[in-house]
Amino acid sequence: MKVNGYRAALVVCAAAVLVATGGATAVVDTAAVTDTASASAARGAGHAGSPSGAVGAGSLGTATRENGAGSNGAGASRGTSPATGVGTPGGTGTSSGAGTSAGTGTSGGTGTAGGTGTSGGADTSRGASSGGVASAAVGALFADGKHFCSASVVHSPSGDLVLTAAHCLGDDITAVTFEPGYHDGVAPYGRWQVTAAAVPDGWRNSSDPDLDFAFLTVAQPGSASLESLTGANRLGVGQGFTHTITLTGYPDDTEEPVVCTGTTTQSDAYQQSVACPGFPDGTSGGPWVTNTDPATGLGTVIGVIGGYETGGATADVSYSAYFDGDIAQLYASATS
């Protein structure tokens, strides 16, 4: 829903080939993230499909604000049993909500539902603060000179991995670039070509809103790694549902990002929501970052705008699929 209707179609490559190497600003323990894959064991039965072990070829459904679903059909069952608990970085992710951010620091609070959300609504009573400076690791996805979705750099061994929403992707990535820190027509860290995409099978097969996330591999000839230039967020898995986050995205009718600080809440078994005004079409894929460093804007990413109604029915409430063992498995696939 919060993807630009203009959005170009993207292709899923047969393998997520990582390119370039460089220094990492935000350290991720890849093994710790991978170990949380067991967290999805109780959840798997409620999905139309599980994340791919290797990124397979095939076309993805195309989602727009108007239809709210991919061309492959509506999302699959979203489950019924909530996953709540305390997210402790460095711990072991479980379906009850304990998990890791594969880094240092705390999860930012106790992962409880924080409200009685349903799949069709959200707790909008929570305070939100608009404004702020966007992290250099957040940028816009472009095709044919127009930005259509948002994305962010996530730590990886090769330093060239970007996180976005699966519904931003369609049939062809050859014309797609990522421009971190983009503003007012300026790409301060250059234009990075998307070379591969890792997308969950459950999204590709049935547009499951609980699997609305994807990793993109990017490259820029002759450059150091993307992460060494912009820094990167840590991937947070099984962190619980209630956090203070910084939400960032690029509306399709502006040339600079919007930034908001808000409190997340559980809206369904594997969906989370946040009330932040001013996040319309184009902001899909924008990161939900907790434990944010005020100096860099970097922290632990626990969601991206997407999920229920591909991000939400209004510009003032955004949704995300909950990050659990499914995204841990997909990360392992994208970085292998």
pLDDT tens string for the chain (336 positions)?
Answer: 677 644 433 333 333 332 222 233 223 343 334 333 334 333 333 333 333 333 333 233 333 322 233 333 333 332 222 222 223 233 333 333 334 444 333 333 333 333 333 334 444 334 566 666 789 999 999 999 999 999 999 999 999 999 999 999 987 888 899 999 999 999 999 999 999 999 999 999 999 999 999 999 999 988 799 999 999 999 999 999 999 999 999 999 999 999 999 999 999 999 999 999 999 999 999 999 999 999 999 999 999 999 999 999 999 999 999 999 999 999 999 999
Domain count, the chain: 1
Q: Tell whether 181 is covered by a domain.
A: yes
Q: Tell whether 25 is covered by a domain.
A: no
Sign of CA dihedral 103, 109, 110, 113: negative
**Pairing of β 300-304 and β 234-235:** parallel
The CA distances from residue 154 to 94, 177, 240, in Å, are 22, 16, 19
Looking at residue 134, its pLDDT comes to: 87
Looking at residue 1, its pLDDT comes to: 60
Q: What DSSP string runs through 157-203?
A: SSS-EEEE-GGG--S--TTEEEEET-BTTB-TT--EEEEEEE--HHH
Q: Tell whether 6 is covered by a domain.
A: no
Q: Tell whether 8 is covered by a domain.
A: no
Q: Quote the domain boundaries for residue 301.
A: 30-334
The CATH number of whichever domain residue 105 belongs to comes to: 2.40.10.120
The CA distances from residue 255 to 107, 125, 155, 252, 282, in Å, are 32, 30, 26, 8, 11
